Amino acid sequence: MLVLNLSLSIFSIVTSSYLISCGLFSIYKK
């Protein structure tokens, strides 16, 4: 259970950082 929770938190952090970098790239591209 702890491993699942850890992997879920890591996945959410990676996803949020990916979305933020995509947003910054689209803003920078304009």
pLDDT, tens digit, for every residue of 1-30? 789 999 999 999 999 999 999 999 999 887
Q: How far apart are CA 30 and CA 16, in angstroms?
A: 22
- Residue 30's pLDDT is what? 77
Q: What are phi and psi of 3, to 5 degrees?
A: -65, -40
Q: What is the pTM of this model?
A: 0.63
- Residue 2's pLDDT is what? 87
Q: Which of 26, 7, 3, 27 is nearest to 15 (CA)?
A: 7
